[in-house]
Structures are given as structure tokens and as C-alpha cells.
Amino acid sequence: MNEQPIDITHSDEPAVDRRSFLKIAGIAVGALTVAELGGIGLAYLHPRTAEGDFGSVITAGAVDDFPPGSVTHVTNGRFYLTRFDDGGFLALHQRCTHLGCTVPWDQATEQFVCPCHNSQFDDAGSVLNPPAPRPLDRFAVTIDAGMVLIDTSSAIARDDFDGSQVVYA
Ligand code: FES
């Protein structure tokens, strides 16, 4: 009996038929889409902490840029920098402690007046008029080589204003 070897290296049938190919391609596209959406979601949730942005340490300026008795809005840091008459600095979050509206400084009345429900705060962020339940939050201030640095990575809640919150050059 003469046996012939079977050629298994060549076949007329494709290794993957059309239906299987489409199924694999569909799964691959689906997985890619999920991965991409996940990446976009993580990028959205990741805090922006580039230097100079809210969430980082921000250089507000030189000490002498802020005259005593002034309130300066530092918009990229989302805070106000109060310099009291005695030269001390206090950085106040612009966010109202009632429901979070941005609070503008009114130079005419020398108060922060919330446009949402009319809470009012003095230049130290203390509540003059409710419904705000507590003073404006503050940020840590340091003075280094004549420059005023504000750490906006975390707002510091407080029940009252006291002198220990003021930083001097
Ligand atoms: S959010 Fe400012 S008073 Fe309500």
C-alpha cells in the first residue's frame, strides 16, 4: 500500500473566514473605543496643576506691587490678595462659602458682595451679611525673595479671621 503525505500547508479555505474576521474587527474597534473614552475621561478628571494655573503655587507679584490698603483680583489663581494697611497679606478664595458663586470685590463699598444671594464679606473675608455660613476660604501665602507666592492647591476653611492668617514680608 502506497501512502501519500497530506499537504496541510496549502488549503483553498482562508485561515480566517469573513464572518470571523468581522467579529474580531468589531471586538478590536470596540476595545479601542472603550480605551479611548477611558483616556478622555481620565484626562478630564485629572486636575490641571501646571505652573501658574489654579491648583499650583502662583507668583502673584512683588511685594511692592500691592499697595497697603488694596485688594487685587488674581484671576488665574481664582483668589483675591488683600494687603492690609499694616502691610500684611491675606489670600482669599473667590468662591462664596454659601453656594459657590464667584464673589466680586466692590471697591466703592470696600466689600465682597455675592451676586447670587447678597452675602457680603469684608476685606479679610469675614461675613458681614449672611446667608454665607463662614468667612471666605483662604490660601497659604509665603513671601520669598520679595515675591508673594500663593499655594492654590488647597483652600483653607476657617470659622473666623485672626491675625495669625496674615503674612508679612
Ligand atoms: S452663593 Fe453667595 S450668597 Fe449664595
pLDDT tens digits, residue range 159-169? 999 999 999 99
42 and 118 share a domain? no
Q: Is the pLDDT of residue 45 over 60?
A: no
Give domain status of residue 8, yes or no.
no
Q: Nearest-5° angle of CA 70, CA 163, CA 102?
A: 50
Q: 35 and 61: one domain?
A: no
Of 56, 37, 35, the residue nearest 45 (C-alpha): 37
pLDDT digits (tens, 9 = 90+) for 105-149: 999 999 999 999 999 999 999 999 999 999 999 999 999 999 999
Question: Does 131 contact ligand 1 (Cβ within 6 A)?
Answer: yes
How much is the pTM?
0.72
Query: Among 117, 127, 134, 136, which is best to mutate for testing ligand 1, by the most ligand atoms less than 8 A from CB?
Result: 117
User: And the C-alpha cell for 82?
Assistant: 488683600
Question: Which of 99, 105, 120, 127 for mutating ligand 1's site (highest number of atoms within 8 Å of CB)?
Answer: 99
**Number of the ligand 1 atom closest to the C-alpha atom of 117:** 3
- Structural domain including 42 reads 13-46
Where would I find the H helices in 46-162? none
pLDDT above 90: percentage of residues in the chain: 69
Are 157 and 120 members of one domain?
Answer: yes
How many domains is the chain built from? Answer: 2
The dihedral region occupied by 55, where left means phi > 0, alpha psi between -120 and 50, and beta the remainder, is: left
CA quadruple 50, 53, 55, 60: dihedral positive or negative?
positive
Q: Which residues contact 11 (CB under 8 A, 6 or more apart)?
A: none
85/153 same-domain check: yes
